[in-house]
Each structure stands twice: as C-alpha cells, then as structure tokens.
Structure 1
Amino acid sequence: MPSRRKRVAEGGLRGRLARLLAGWDEALRVGQEAAVRRELEEADDLFLLLCFSESFGLPNPASWHTLELYPLMLEEFHEWHRRMGQERSPLDHLRCC
C-alpha cells in the first residue's frame, strides 16, 4: 500500500500535468478560433444565398424545400445584410428592418 506522502506527490504531478495539457490545448485553439468562426459565417452566407436565391434572381433547384424555412431565416437574413454593410434589406419584397 502506497504511503500518504507518495499519493500526495502523484496527485500533485497529475494536477500539474493536467494543467500543462489544458494550457497546451488552449494555446493550440487560440489561432484557430477566428478561422473556424470565419468558415462558419461563410457556410451560413452560402446557406442564406441558397434559401433566398430566387429573390436575388438566381434559379434555385431546391426552392420547394427551402420555402418553409423563410420565416425561420428572416432574423438571420437581417443579421446577414447588416454584416454585409447594408442598412436596409436589399430585397424590396422582404422587409426585415
């Protein structure tokens, strides 16, 4: 049976190792968070373009499937056109502001 002193020393080493690994993991994530966030925004923009492509005059092969998403996507569309630097909705028939 290990002595109390040995168990405390092992716990301290494990704790230090866990903190070291957590710090290493955080250091690796810092540079990648912005890139991942940018990729997610680009994917969201592409999805919005697919949903609202007929409104922009582009043929949409999936218009029947995306039609029921319009009410859910209205708030996200508002955030999107604000992020693109447009104060008002670029679509005349779609008023979100």
Structure 2
Amino acid sequence: MQRPYLKHLAAALALCLPLMAFGAERQVVDIAVKGMTCPLCAYGLEKSLRKADEVDHAAASLKDQNVRIELKPGTQPDIARYKQLIHDAGFTPGEAKVSREETK
C-alpha cells in the first residue's frame, strides 16, 4: 500500500527545518591574535579554525588583530582548542571573550 502523502510530508519538512533554526541563539568567540601581517595570514588562520566541527564561520581581522569565531547553534566553545589552532597556524593567541547572538 503506497502512501503518497509521505512524499509531500518529507518535502515540507525539508523546507521547514532550516526555518526552525531561525532565531536560535549561538555563541561567538572573539580572540586577540598577535602576528598577523598580511591578508594571507588572516585567510590561513580562518581556514585553520574551520577545522573545528562546531565552527560555522571564522573571520580574522588584520586591522583589529583578532579573530571572530561563530559557532553552530547549540554547540559549546572550546577555547583551548581554538587557541591551539591559532598557535599551530603560527600566531600568538591572546584574551578570549565569549558572547551570544541570535542567528540570522
């Protein structure tokens, strides 16, 4: 016995699930970084930080000498790991600050 409504239900769920995350809260980590001198440094650092599974986005700022790490909703930060990844990329991590923000 076929149930044609299941196909429509699955399609509706696939469309609605991303919307359910809208308005969810996520954690953001800002870490001071010493040693970045060029755009390639910032790019390499961002790429290194994206190795952590819970990282949704990483943006390094040459001007501000810091990196902003946005985590996937519902995940917890691992400051020690981020600092190790920064160190492994050839930079010196500094003070870290964790905050929360609404997802867009």
TM-score, normalized by length of structure 2?
0.30
**Bigger helix fraction:** 1
Between 1 and 2, higher relative CO (CA 8 Å, sep ≥ 6) is seen in 2
Q: Which has the larger radius of gyration?
A: 1
